[in-house]
Amino acid sequence: MEILDLNFLDHTDTIASFLLESNDGLVLVESGPYSTYTHLTKVLKDMGAQPKDVRHVLLTHIHLDHAGAAWAFAKNGANVYVHPRGYKHLANPERLWASAKRIYQDDMEYLWGDMQAIDEDRLFAIDDAVDLKIGGLTFTAWHTPGHAVHHIAWQQEGGLFTGDVAGVKIGHNLVAPPCPPPDINIEDWKESIRKIKNLNPTSLYLTHFGQVNHITSHLDELEARLDKWAAWIYPYFEKGTPTKEIVPLFQAFSIEEMKEAQVSAPDIERYLKANPPWMSVWGLMRYFSVKTKAS
Domain limits at 111?
Answer: 2-219
In a domain, 256, yes or no: no
Q: Can you tell me whether residue 29 is helix, strand or coil?
A: strand
pLDDT at site 128: 98
What integer pLDDT is reported at residue 104 of this predicted model? Answer: 84
Each residue's pLDDT tens digit, 123-171:
999 999 999 999 999 999 999 999 999 999 999 999 999 999 999 999 9
Classify residue 247: in a domain, yes or no.
Answer: no
Question: H-helix or E-strand containing 3?
Answer: strand 2-5
Task: Calculate what percentage of the chain has a pLDDT beyond 90.
Answer: 93
Element (H, E) at 210: strand 210-212
pTM over 0.85: yes
Residue 261 lies in a domain: no
Beta bridge partners of 16: 5
Domain membership flag for residue 202: yes
Reported confidence tier of residue 100, pLDDT bands at 50, 70, 90: confident
Is residue 265 assigned to a domain? no
- Across residues 190-218, what is the average pLDDT? 97
pLDDT of 106 above 90: no
H helix or E strand, kind and range, residue 249:
helix 243-260
Q: What band does 98 get if pLDDT is binned at 50, 70 and 90?
A: confident
What separation in angstroms does the CA of 72 have from each of 4, 33, 126, 202? 17, 10, 20, 32
Classify residue 288: in a domain, yes or no: no
pLDDT, one tens digit per residue, over 210-265 is 999 999 999 999 999 999 999 999 999 999 999 999 999 999 999 999 999 999 99
Instruction: Convert the pLDDT of each residue in 43-86 to its tens digit.
Output: 999 999 999 999 999 999 999 999 999 999 999 999 999 999 99
pLDDT at residue 26 above 80? yes
The enclosing domain of 114 has a CATH number of 3.60.15.10
With a cut of 80, say whether residue 295 has pLDDT above it: no
Q: What's the distance, CA 279 to chain centroid?
A: 13
The structural domain count of the chain equals 1
**48 located within any domain:** yes
Q: Please report whether residue 23 resides in a domain.
A: yes
Mean pLDDT, residues 23-52: 97
